[in-house]
Structure 1
Amino acid sequence: MPTDRNWIPKRVLVTPAALRFAHGDAMVERAAAAGAEIVRLSADRLSGLPDSYRDAKSTMAVVVASPSRRKPQPIPPSADWRFDLAEGCPAHCQYCYLAGSLSGPPIIRAYANLPEILAELTPLLGAGTITSRSEHRAAEGTTFECSCYTDPLGIEHLTGSLAACIGHFGMWDSPVQLRFTTKFDAVAPLLSLPHRGRTRIRFSLNSKGGERYEGGAPRMDRRLAALRAVAQAGYPVGLTIAPILPLPGWRLEYDQLLADVAAALDGIPTSDLTVELITHRFTDKSKSVLTGWYPGTSLPLDEADRTRKLTKFGTGKWVLPRAEMTTMRGVITDALAQRLPEARTLYWT
C-alpha cells in the first residue's frame, strides 16, 4: 500500500461566502487540524496574496466558484465535459501547463460550493462530442473530467471533494463516468467508497528522465503501487503518459515504464485499461512563467528545436517537429502493444 505524505499549506485564506457552505467549513476544519494558519478574510475578494513563488505554493484559499466557473466546458480529447473542484496544484512540475492557463500567483483555490457545481452536471447527460457520440468510447457514457486545473488527489485530505464526487457518480444511476488524473498516491481513503465503477482513476506517469522534473510529487514506484491498489478496489484505471519528452535514452525508458506498469497490474484484468499519450508543448507565456519559477531548469524549451502550431483560439504553441513526433509515436505505441496488449489507447496528442 502506498505511503501517504500529504501536502499541508502554511496559510489558508477563507472568504466569508465559503463558510456559508458546509463543505467549505469542513475544509477549514481539516486544514486547521493539520496545522495550517487560518486567515478569515473580511470580504469575498481575495487579498493578501503572496508575491513569491515559494509562499504562493504554500497557500490555499477556500472560495466560492462563480457562476461562470461552475459552468462545465467541453474538454476534447479527454472527455465530454470539464468541471473544476479547485485551481492550482501542490506539486512543483517544471513543465506545469497551468503556468500558461491560470493567472496570478500559483496558490490553490479550493471551491466550497460543491453542491452547486455538481448540480450543473445533470442537464448534460447524453450531451457532448467525445464519448457521448463516439462509437469507440460509447461504453464510457457521458464523461466528466475534474482534474484539468488541479490534481484533486493531492489536496483531497483537505477538501474531501473527490470522495464526494465519487459518491455522487456512484449514486447517479445513468451511463456516466467521472475521470481524474493524478500524480499522487494517497488513495487509501478512496478504496472503500461506493464508486460502482463510475470513476476512472488515471495516473500521470513518465520516463525516468521526465520524472526529475516533477518535484513535490510521489516517485513513480509509489504511483504504480497506488495504481494497483485502486485497480484491486474495482476502479476502472488508466495511464496518462505525459508530457512525453525526447530526452536521452527515451526509447528504453518509456519501454521500461510500460514494463513496470505491466508488473504493477500483474494478476489484475486489464481489458478496460486506457492510455492517453500527451507530448510536451509550451507557449511563449508558459515558458516565461516557468523559467521565472524554475530559473535553473534543464527542461528543453528551445524554440529552435520545435515547430510552432496555432491553437483553435489563434494562439501559438511550440510542439515537437512532425518527424520526431512520428518516430516517438511509433516506438511508444509498439511498446504498448508488446507490454500492455489489452490496453486501449484513447489518443495521442
Structure 2
Amino acid sequence: MPDFRPWIPRRVLVTPAALRFEHGSAMVERAAQAGSEIVRLASDRLSGLPDSYRDAKSTMAVVVASPSRRRPQPIPPSADWRFDLAEGCPAHCQYCYLAGSLAGPPIIRAYANLPEILAELPPLLGQGTVTSRSTARAAEGTTFECSCYTDPLGIEHLTGSLSACITRFGAWDAPVQLRFTTKFDAVAPILGLAHGGRTRIRFSLNAASAERLEGGAPRMDRRLAALRAVAQAGYPVGLTIAPILPLPGWRQEYDRLLALVAEALDGVPDPALTAELITHRFTDKSKAVLTGWYPGSPLPMDEAARTRKLTKFGTGKWVLPKAEMSEMRGFMTAALQRRLPEAALLYWT
C-alpha cells in the first residue's frame, strides 16, 4: 500500500512559557527538523492565528495548559477521567465532533507542561464513576482517556507526549489504564515501549463508503494492519466504530468491516478486544462550522431525518430517529457477536 505521509505543520507558534519546559523545547526542535517554520511569540497570548481553515489546519501552537485545562474531567461512558495532551487534530473528517467542541480556528495546540498534567492523575486513583465503580469493568482499573480533543498518535512524531504517557502508565504499579482512540497507523515507535498492558489502543474504524469523509487519515487497511501490530506487541486493543451512519448498504458494509477486523486479529493470542459503537449526531453549531469547512460534503445532516434530543447540558443535538437507532443497534450488536464473539461491547450511544 502507498506510504502515508505524517502531518507536518507549515508554521509552529511557540509561547515563552512553553520553552521553559524541556518537553516544549523538544517539540519545537522536532518541528524545526521536520521543516516547519518556527515563530517565537513575544508573549504567552497566542497571536497571529490564521483566519482560513486551510492555514489553521497547517498550524501548530506549543503552549502551556492552564490549571483549569490540565485538571482531569469525568468522561462517561468512555472512561473515569479525561486529560488532554493537545487540542485539535491533523485529519480532515467531514463529521468532526471537535467542530462543535473547540472554539476558534482549528489549529493544533500541543501542551508543553506534560509533567504538570500527569501530576494531576495519581490523586484520582480509585475515583470515578465508569470503571472504578463498575463490577463489569473493574478489571480495567481507574481509566484515563487522553484522546477526547485530539488524535495523539497523529501528532506523536512531533510531540512525544503519547510515548511519555504510555511509559508512565507502564511503570505505575496500580490498577490503572490509559486509553486513546486513533485513526492513524504510525505505531512503530510505540511497539517496543514498556507499556505493562496498561494502555488500551482503540482504532477508529468505519464502513468503506465513509472513508471519503475522512481526509488526511490513513485508509482502513493501514489502520487494521496497525491494530494487528499493537495487539501482537501485547497492548489491549479496541474498536471505536464511529460515527455509525445510515449509508446505502450499511448492513453489508459494517458487517464487512467487522469481518476484516476478525481477519486482522486472526491468530493474535488474547487481544482483550473491546468495542465502542457510536452513532452519528450533530448540533446546530457543529453543522454550521462543518458546512463552512466542507461545503458540498455528502455527510447526511438533514434535521428532517433526525430527532432532536437534549444533552445533559441542556443543549440540543440531532440524533437518528428511535426506530432507526433501534434497528441499527440490533444489527450491529448481533454482527459484532457473530464476527468477533470475544469482543466486549462497552457501550452503544
TM score, norm. by length of structure 2: 0.99
Letter of the structure 1 residue corresponding to residue 191 of structure 2:
L
Q: Deviations over 1:106-160 (max 9, x none)?
A: 0000000000000000000000000000001000000000000000000000000
Do 1:131 and 1:137's aligned partners in 2 also have CA atoms closer than 8 Å?
Answer: yes
| Residue in structure 2 matched with residue 104 of structure 1 by the alignment | 104
Do 1:2 and 1:225's aligned partners in 2 also have CA atoms closer than 8 Å?
Answer: no
Letter of the structure 1 residue corresponding to residue 335 of structure 2:
A
Distance across 2 between alignment mates of 1:302 and 1:154:
31
Distance across 2 between alignment mates of 1:240 and 1:170:
23
Do 2:237 and 2:271's aligned partners in 1 also have CA atoms closer than 8 Å?
Answer: no
Does residue 67 (structure 1) correspond to residue 67 (structure 2)? The answer is: yes
List, as ranges, runs of 4+ consecutive aligned residues in structure 1 with deviation greater than 3 Å: 1-4
| Residue in structure 1 matched with residue 262 of structure 2 by the alignment | 262
Q: Deviations over 1:260-289 (max 9, x none)?
A: 000000001346100000000000000000
| Residue in structure 2 matched with residue 325 of structure 1 by the alignment | 325
Letter of the structure 2 residue corresponding to residue 29 of structure 1:
E
| Residue in structure 1 matched with residue 234 of structure 2 by the alignment | 234
| Residue in structure 1 matched with residue 225 of structure 2 by the alignment | 225
Structure 1 pair 156–103 and aligned structure 2 pair: CA distance change class (3 A): same
SS in 2 for 1:239: strand
C-alpha deviation, 1:212, in angstroms: 1.3
| Residue in structure 2 matched with residue 198 of structure 1 by the alignment | 198
* Structure 1 alignment gaps of length 5 or more: none
| Residue in structure 1 matched with residue 306 of structure 2 by the alignment | 306
| Residue in structure 2 matched with residue 76 of structure 1 by the alignment | 76
| Residue in structure 2 matched with residue 174 of structure 1 by the alignment | 174
| Residue in structure 2 matched with residue 132 of structure 1 by the alignment | 132
Do 2:234 and 2:271's aligned partners in 1 also have CA atoms closer than 8 Å?
Answer: no
Do 1:167 and 1:193's aligned partners in 2 also have CA atoms closer than 8 Å?
Answer: yes
SS in 2 for 1:70: coil
Do 1:271 and 1:343's aligned partners in 2 also have CA atoms closer than 8 Å?
Answer: no
C-alpha deviation, 1:5, in angstroms: 2.4
Letter of the structure 2 residue corresponding to residue 323 of structure 1:
A
C-alpha deviation, 1:210, in angstroms: 1.5
| Residue in structure 1 matched with residue 342 of structure 2 by the alignment | 342
* Structure 2 alignment gaps of length 5 or more: none
Do 2:231 and 2:271's aligned partners in 1 also have CA atoms closer than 8 Å?
Answer: no
Do 1:86 and 1:152's aligned partners in 2 also have CA atoms closer than 8 Å?
Answer: yes
- Give the % identical residues: 84
The total of aligned residue pairs comes to 349
Letter of the structure 2 residue corresponding to residue 182 of structure 1:
T
Do 1:3 and 1:186's aligned partners in 2 also have CA atoms closer than 8 Å?
Answer: no
Distance across 2 between alignment mates of 1:27 and 1:272:
33
C-alpha deviation, 1:3, in angstroms: 5.1
Distance across 2 between alignment mates of 1:180 and 1:237:
10
Structure 1 pair 159–313 and aligned structure 2 pair: CA distance change class (3 A): same
Distance across 1 between alignment mates of 2:227 and 2:172:
24
Do 1:275 and 1:346's aligned partners in 2 also have CA atoms closer than 8 Å?
Answer: yes
Letter of the structure 1 residue corresponding to residue 294 of structure 2:
Y
Letter of the structure 2 residue corresponding to residue 74 of structure 1:
P
| Residue in structure 1 matched with residue 161 of structure 2 by the alignment | 161
Distance across 2 between alignment mates of 1:90 and 1:228:
23
| Residue in structure 2 matched with residue 20 of structure 1 by the alignment | 20
Does residue 31 (structure 1) correspond to residue 51 (structure 2)? The answer is: no
| Residue in structure 1 matched with residue 275 of structure 2 by the alignment | 275
Distance across 2 between alignment mates of 1:118 and 1:5:
30
| Residue in structure 2 matched with residue 90 of structure 1 by the alignment | 90
Do 1:3 and 1:185's aligned partners in 2 also have CA atoms closer than 8 Å?
Answer: no
Distance across 2 between alignment mates of 1:318 and 1:128:
29
Distance across 2 between alignment mates of 1:263 and 1:121:
37
| Residue in structure 2 matched with residue 215 of structure 1 by the alignment | 215
Letter of the structure 1 residue corresponding to residue 87 of structure 2:
E
C-alpha deviation, 1:41, in angstroms: 0.2
Distance across 2 between alignment mates of 1:188 and 1:93:
24
Letter of the structure 2 residue corresponding to residue 194 of structure 1:
A
Letter of the structure 2 residue corresponding to residue 229 of structure 1:
A
Do 1:64 and 1:111's aligned partners in 2 also have CA atoms closer than 8 Å?
Answer: yes
Distance across 2 between alignment mates of 1:268 and 1:3:
25
Letter of the structure 2 residue corresponding to residue 250 of structure 1:
W
C-alpha deviation, 1:244, in angstroms: 0.2
Distance across 1 between alignment mates of 2:2 and 2:75:
31
Structure 1 pair 175–161 and aligned structure 2 pair: CA distance change class (3 A): same
| Residue in structure 2 matched with residue 9 of structure 1 by the alignment | 9
Distance across 2 between alignment mates of 1:326 and 1:271:
29
TM score, norm. by length of structure 1: 0.99
